[in-house]
Chains A and B, each alone.
Chain A
Amino acid sequence: MNQVLLIFLPVLFALFVPLLYKTFSRIHTGWFVLLVPLTLAIYYARFIPNITEGPYTSTFYWVKSLDLSVTSYLDGLSLLFSLLITIIGSLVVLYSIFYLDRKKEQLHNFYFYLLMFMTAMLGVVQSDHLISLYLFWELTSISSFLLIGYWYNRDRSRFGALKSMMITVFGGLMMLGGFLLLAQAGGSYSIRELIANGSVIADSPYFIWMIVLILLGAFTKSAQFPFYIWLPDAMEAPTPVSAYLHSATMVKAGIYLVARLTPLFAVSEYWIWLVVLSGLITLFWGSFFSVKQTDLKGILAFSTVSQLGMIMAMLGAAGIAFHVESPQKTIFAFAAYAAIFHLVNHATFKGSLFMVAGIVDHETGTRDIRKLGGLMSLMPISFTIAAIGSLAMAGLPPFNGFLSKELFLTSMLSLKEFSLFNFSTWGPILPWVAFVASIFTFVYCLYFLYYTFMGKGNTSKLPKKPHEAPIGMLISPIILASLVVAIFFIPNVIGKYFIKPAVLAMQPQLYETIDDIPIHVQAWHGWTTELQMTIGIVVIGFLLFITLKKWQPIYRFVSEKWSLNGLYNRLMRFADVDSQKLSNLYMTGSMRHYLMYMFAFMVVAVISTLFMSNGFNYSTANTAEVGIFEIATLIVMIIGTLTVLIARTRLTAIIALGAVGYSVALFFIIFNAPDLALTQLVIETVSVALFLLAFYHLPKMSRHEERMPFKINNFLIALGVGVMVTLVALSAQSQKLLPSISQYYKDTVYTKAGGGNIVNVILVDYRGFDTLFEITVLAIAGMAILGMIKLRRPKKEKKTHETK
């Protein structure tokens, strides 16, 4: 129980943040907030040694009758993500304490959103129930929206926030659809049970739809091509947020989902192809366009896009292991390990790079790479961290990025060995895509590093005089940078405690224990293809970097208008402006038009229902005879109605209406309803008197008016309604589907209610409440009438109206 409640610890703590902010205004609120991720990190760290004995579960039902629960499900994969969330979270909060000014910023808002995100993200990676996973998923989108829009008075922030929300929530909704199909096919909402039930789900006719819909969710969240466009605009968020949400955790939710569902969907070739291809395209696209950026965080955003694509591609390749015999002994075992390993490495080096970008921004006042340069001597520590981070990202030793980059190349090379699903035809191209993308990765890493810290920048022109950041701001990136180096030297320790348990959770069908996973990572693994590729990447990448100024103009050929961003903008404008135009076409504001729609719809709905339920069986059996009185009354009524329609004056119309009313009363007499007749006579008399009072004896009212002009549209709709009512009346008369309950009243009216006049007894006894409410309605109408007559518009307002 504690385990599941701890997911909610951050958001519960968040409730006290505004209070702490107000009470201890002299202490930076971040110091209190820091306790939360630290506590959680320690709590989750306790699971590390024994995680393979798990999974550890803990359930909390929020709607037990609907089987809606939040289940915390901790296995290797969830634990790894939970640790990432809490550890990077602690470092980011620590960093933010120095990044965000206590006096200038609205810290209570910032930390509230951040803690809300923490709960949401922990919920995503630990939920076993699909619905709670979805809810937490959307909560991450919402908290991301709030954090991107934290500086809400800036246009760009609001634009970026909305864009990320639009795209990720669209994906989330698609994913929900996929989840519902999945739960329908598998008969459960629990991911564990669904995976155990995998073969049934694979036979479902909607299998491909589940894959597409769920991948839409994962791809939008993890900024895959072509949905990545929200991520660069999300860089308007404060830098701690970019480091935390938009590189280390939230954007990896999609990765998590793909990894989590791999055992379920990897049997499908579509899954493997979709994930591998989208990953590789994203990898190439992101790295290629990263070199175009001039904003430091823009470069990092595109590089994040590219790296996410790389992890995604590896996860796709990991699915192949389900299709070969004894994959443990082959090259196919590498991809899953490589994906998880790179995910951890990316969190470390990208986190540190973002923090350095934030430091540069903070100390120089700009993030524009065209203005920066030559900061190396002024900010030596920041430079060292940036160098470690960039070179790790470029895939050079002695940094962790080198190891996972080699594994990445291994897993991409494995694709050409795979013979199923057309991989023998297309597979050999894929390593080349990876190769080219890696070259651009190398280029943008140098680009980022060189033009910020080296080169001949004019530091005196910067908005602020640059100097090294305060030590507090440097602690977090230093810790991350040390990890980058440390992981290079102890990859197998990390592998044993973190990576292998996660791989075990991702490919449970393949391995019994973590010792079965045959991977032992080494920096030097012989003169292999991978190493040759790395050398090629470095050489070509270096040449491209030196000639950067010569070929950079090719980016000008990329038209903004036809880019994905242009498409998004046009789509939003379409949704905004054109949909309003469309609705203005029919939402005219005129009550008559709305009534016309309603009547027309009613006619269509009722008549088509009559058709479909075979309501046109008319019989004239059991009908009453037609008598002379009836016909006479009918003629009076019809003449009265016609007179109303063609009356020239109001008086005529009112009197004709009265005639219709009295003829209705006559009908009541003829059809043996004396009570109705009495009521009708009284009411009709009063009504006519009221009509005359209101409209005839009003002094200012003109007594003469034109005959009503004939309108064909109105007539057609009226005719339709008339026909419909006639059909319904005929149908109701001819077909008695259920026996009338009137007999009950006839039988019991004397014995139970002690009365003889059945209608009266029904009104005051059987349906007494009905009558009570009827009287209430009358009372309300009476009060409203009184109010309208007594209340007058204030004189003042009337005057302004008149002056207009």
Chain B
Amino acid sequence: MEVVMSFAIGFLFMAAVYLILSKSILRIIIGTGLLSHGAHLLILTMGGLGGEAPPVLADGVTNMADPLPQALILTAIVISFGVTAFFLVLAYRAYQELGTDNLDEIRRILADDD
């Protein structure tokens, strides 16, 4: 399963980077979203997927999932949400002020302003 997941994660990263390199702000934000999904799955996969029970102490459980990657991912999910929300509002405001969500046009407008 880990091998399959590795390829899936690679695919997610590829899509994310391709989106991030585009001109539209919305696509860049979607790209960062995909990137964080990929990163979360990557951390989880690195820790191994072989656990048979959630990492909660219980009688009779011997092979539980690795708790450490899960703790890290939990933090990462929340942070990436904060970042995404911030980006969104930034893009929204930039659009309101400048009338476009194309990065090249934004640069041109700002250069004209100077």
Seen from chain A, the residues whose Cβ lies within 8 Å of a Cβ on chain B are 589-592, 595-596, 599, 620, 622-627, 630-631, 634, 637-638, 641-642, 644-645, 650, 653-654, 657, 660-661, 664, 667-668, 671-676, 679-680, 683, 686-687, 690-691, 694-695, 698, 700-701, 705, 708, 711, 714-715, 717-719, 721-726, 728-730, 732-733, 740-742, 745-746, 749-750, 756-759, 762-763, 767, 770-771, 774, 777-778, 781-782, 784-785, 788-789, 793, 801, 804
Query: CB distance A599 to B6 under 8 Å?
Result: no
Most buried by B among A590, A654, A679, A758: A758
Chain A residue contacts of B79, Cβ below 8 A:
774, 777-778
Q: Main secondary structure on chain B at its contact with chain A?
A: helix
Contacts A630-B1, A676-B74: A742 and B44 contacting too (C-beta < 8 A)? Answer: no
Check A630–B4 contact: CB distance below 8 A. Answer: yes
In the complex, how many angstroms separate the beta carbon of A791 from the nearest chain B beta carbon?
9
Rounded to whole Å, the gap between the CB of B89 and the closest CB of chain A is: 5
Query: Would B50 and A781 count as touching, CB distance under 8 A?
Result: no
Contact with A along B1-26 (1 / 0, CB 8 A): 11111111111111111111111101
Q: Which residues of B contact A625 (CB under 8 A)?
A: 1
Set A654, A686, A722, A733: member contacting B45, Cβ < 8 A: A733
Q: A657-B34, A746-B64, A771-B75 are in contact. Are A644 and B54 (CB under 8 A)?
A: no
A623 and B22 alpha carbons, distance in the complex (Å): 37
Contact B68 A777 (CB under 8 A): no
Extra inter-chain contacts (10) besides given A672-B64, A680-B77, CB under 8 Å: A589-B107, A624-B2, A667-B44, A671-B51, A718-B13, A718-B14, A756-B58, A778-B82, A788-B89, A793-B97
Which residues of chain A are near B52, meaning CB under 8 Å?
Answer: 672
Chain B neighbourhood of A698, CB < 8 A:
92, 95
Q: Which of A695, A724, A784, A804 has the most CB of B within 10 A?
A: A695
Nearest chain B CB to A616's CB is how many angstroms away? 13
Contact A694 B89 (CB under 8 A): yes
User: Quick one: given A673-B65, A759-B71, are A691 and B88 in contact (CB under 8 Å)?
Assistant: yes
CA A708 to CA B86, docked complex, whole Å: 24
In the bound complex, CA of A664 to CA of B6 (Å): 14
Q: Min CB distance, B87 to chain A, in Å?
A: 10
Q: Are B30 and A653 in contact (CB under 8 A)?
A: yes
Please measure, in the bound complex, the distance between the C-alpha atom of A804 and the C-alpha atom of B13, giving whole angstroms: 42
Asked whether A777 and B66 contact (CB < 8 A) given A592-B23, A623-B2, A725-B42, the answer is: no
Q: How far is the CB of A653 from chain B (nearest CB, A)?
A: 6
What are the residues of chain B within 8 A of A624 when measuring CB–CB? 1-2, 48-50
Contact status A762-B30, CB under 8 Å: no
In the complex where A694-B91, A785-B85 touch, is A711 in contact with B74 (Cβ < 8 A)?
Answer: no
Closest to B104 in A: A590
Taking a contact as CB atoms closer than 8 A, the residue among B6, B15, B113 that contacts A645 in the complex is: B15
> Across the two chains, which residue of chain B brings its CB closest to A786?
B89
CA gap between A724 and B16 in the complex, in Å: 14
**CB pairs A–B below 8 angstroms (18 shown):** A592-B23, A630-B4, A634-B4, A644-B15, A644-B19, A645-B15, A660-B12, A661-B33, A675-B74, A687-B84, A728-B42, A730-B2, A730-B3, A742-B68, A745-B67, A771-B75, A778-B78, A781-B83
Instruction: Establish whether residues A676 and B30, one from each chain, have CB atoms under 8 Å apart when the complex forms.
Output: no
Max chain B C-beta neighbours (<10 A), residue from A650, A694, A724 = A694
- Indicate if the CB atoms of B2 and A733 lie closer than 8 Å: yes
Among the listed B10, B21, B93, which residue makes an inter-chain contact with A788, where contact means beta carbons less than 8 Å apart? B93
Q: Please, which residues of chain B bring their CB within 8 A of the CB of A726? A: 6-7, 9-10
The answer to whether residues A718 and B21 also contact, given A650-B26, A729-B6, A733-B45 and a CB cut-off of 8 A, is yes
Is the beta-carbon distance between A673 and B54 smaller than 8 angstroms?
Answer: yes
- Assess A785 versus B13: contact at CB under 8 Å? Given A698-B95, A740-B68, A742-B68: no
What is the bound-complex CA distance between A785 and B44, given in angstroms? Answer: 31
A777 to B84, CA, bound (A): 12
Shortest Cβ distance from residue B85 to the other chain A in the assembled complex, whole angstroms: 6
Shortest beta-carbon distance from B26 to chain A in Å: 6
Q: Which residue of B lies closest to A723 (CB)?
A: B10
Which residues of A have CB within 8 Å of B56? 756-758
Check if A592 sits within 8 Å of B21, measured CB to CB. yes
Residues B75 and A763 in contact, CB atoms below 8 Å apart: yes
A733 touches B48 (CB 8 A): yes
Residue numbers in A under 8 Å from B97 (CB-CB): 793
Which A-chain residue is minimally distant from B58 (CB atoms)? A756
Tell me which residues across on chain B come within 8 A of A705, comparing CB atoms: 24
Separation of A160 and B82 alpha carbons in the complex (Å): 55
- Closest-by-CB residue of A relative to B29 is A691
Q: Are B40 and A664 in contact (CB under 8 A)?
A: yes
What is the minimal beta-carbon distance from A215 to any residue of chain B, in angstroms? 49
Contact of A721 with B1 in the complex, beta carbons under 8 Å: no
Across the interface, name the chain B residue whose C-beta is closest to A778: B82
Chain B's nearest CB lies how many Å from the CB of A22?
41
What residues on B are CB-neighbors of A741 within 8 Å? Answer: 68
On whether the beta carbons of B30 and A654 are closer than 8 Å, the reply is yes
Q: Which residues of A contact B91 (CB under 8 A)?
A: 694-695
Q: Is the CB of B68 within 8 A of A781?
A: no
Q: Is the CB of B71 within 8 A of A722?
A: no
Indicate if the CB atoms of A672 and B30 lie closer than 8 Å.
Answer: no
Task: Contacts A673-B65, A788-B89 given; indicate if A732 touches B46 (C-beta within 8 A).
Answer: yes
Across the interface, which residues of A come within 8 angstroms of B40, CB to CB? 664, 676
Query: Beyond A664-B41, A722-B11, is A763–B88 a contact (Cβ under 8 Å)?
Result: no
Given known A687-B33, A781-B86, A785-B86, contact A733–B6 (CB-CB < 8 A): yes
B78 CB to closest chain A CB, in angstroms?
6
Identity of the chain B residue whose Cβ is nearest the Cβ of A634 in the assembled complex: B8
Verify A767–B51 contact, CB threshold 8 A.
Answer: no
- Given the interface pairs A671-B49, A774-B78, the reply to whether A694 lies near B10 with Cβ below 8 Å is no
Q: Give the contacting residue for B67; candidates A671, A762, A785; CB below 8 A.
A: A762
Could you tell me the distance in whole angstroms from the C-beta of B100 to the nearest C-beta in chain A?
Answer: 10
Q: Which residues of A contact B34 (CB under 8 A)?
A: 641, 644, 657, 660
CA distance A36 to B113 in the complex (A): 56
In the assembled complex, which residues on chain A have CB atoms less than 8 Å from the CB atom of B50? Answer: 622-624
A782 to B64, CA, bound (A): 36
Query: Which residues of the partner chain A approach B67 to less than 8 Å between Cβ atoms?
Result: 742, 745-746, 758-759, 762
Q: Of B9, B18, B74, B84, which is within 8 A of A759 by CB?
A: B74
Q: When the two chains form the complex, which single residue of A661, A694, A774 contacts B75, counting CB atoms closer than 8 Å?
A: A774
Instruction: Judge whether A667 and B22 touch: CB under 8 Å.
Output: no
